[in-house]
Chains A and B, each alone.
Chain A
C-alpha cells in the first residue's frame, strides 16, 4: 500500500465503538505501539499490512483510495482506509481475527 510517515491517523465514532467493544484493556498499549509504527514506517514487517480488495464503486462512494488491515498481535487486526489527497489513515474497525474475518470473503 502506498503511504508514508507524512500521513495523519484519524478515526470516527464507529471505530471508537468497535475499539471499546472488542479491544481488551491490556491491549491498548500494544495498539498504540503498532499505530506509532504505522505512522512512522508503514512498511515495518510486523505490521503485516495487507491491502483489502474492494470495488472502484466502494472507493468512490466512500471517497477513499485504498482499504487495508494491519496486525496488532497474533489475534487482533485493525482495518483502515487511506485518503491520499488529504494524507489520511482512517481507522474504521478493530477486533480479533474472527471479527475481522467476518469482512473477508
Chain B
C-alpha cells in the first residue's frame, strides 16, 4: 500500500460514528473501536491510520485526552454528547481512499459487533497495553503504535501453519489426565 493517508483525530471519530448504530456509540466503546481499528490498520499496513495517540488507563487503551477531544468536537458542532453517548449532528463529508476503506471497514464491523465489556476485556489482554502499562501497573502511558505488530490476532491469513509431524509427541489416549485449574 503506497497511500499515506492519515485521519485527524476528530475526522477519525466522525468516520467511526458514521458507521456505528446510535446505541453502539458510547464513549468507552467508541474509544475501544478506535483503538482496535487503528492498531489493526497499523498491523496490516505498517502505517498510522490517524494522528491520534492512545494511552493505557484502567479501562484499557483509549484515545489520549479523549474527553477534551470530544468536548472540542461538540463545541465545533460536529457531535452532540448525550450523557454517555456521542451522536453525529450531520453526515460527515470525509474523503477516504477505497484501499483504506477496504482495510478499516471490516475492522469497524468486527469490533463494533462486540459489547463494551468484551472490548474492554479484550483490550486489557493486548500486548500493546500490557507492555505499555507493565501489566496494568503504570497508568497514563502513551502506547507506541509499533507495538501493534505484536497483536497477531489481527492476522486474518495466519490461522494455519505447516508442521513437521514426525516431531510431534505421540499421546497415550488411555492414560490421559484431566487438567485441574
**Which residue numbers of A lie inside 8 Å of B, CB to CB?**
8-15, 18, 32, 35-36, 44-46, 48-55, 58, 62-64, 67, 69, 71, 74, 79, 81, 83, 88, 90-93, 102-105
* Residue contact B175 to A12, C-beta cutoff 8 Å: yes
For B179, give its contact among A9, A49, A51 (CB under 8 Å): A9
Q: Is B176 an interface residue (CB 8 A)?
A: yes
A93, chain B: closest CB distance, angstroms:
6
> Among B75-83, B89-97, B101-109, B154-162, which stretch is in contact with chain A?
B154-162
User: Which residue of the partner chain, among A12, A58, A102, A104, contacts B176 with CB atoms under 8 Å?
Assistant: A12
Cα of A14 to Cα of B179 in the assembled complex, Å: 14
B interface with A by C-beta (< 8 Å)? 122, 125-127, 150, 152-153, 158-165, 167-173, 175-179, 181
- Chain A residues near B179 (CB-CB < 8 A): 9-11, 35, 91
Contacts of A83 in B (CB 8 A): 173
Are A104's CB and B164's CB within 8 A?
yes
Task: Decide: B127 and A52 in contact? CB cutoff 8 A.
Answer: no
29 residue pairs of the A-B complex, CB under 8 angstroms, read: A10-B176, A11-B179, A12-B171, A12-B176, A13-B175, A14-B171, A32-B181, A35-B181, A44-B122, A45-B125, A46-B125, A48-B152, A48-B153, A50-B158, A51-B159, A52-B160, A53-B160, A54-B168, A62-B170, A67-B165, A67-B168, A71-B152, A88-B176, A93-B169, A103-B164, A104-B161, A104-B164, A105-B162, A105-B163
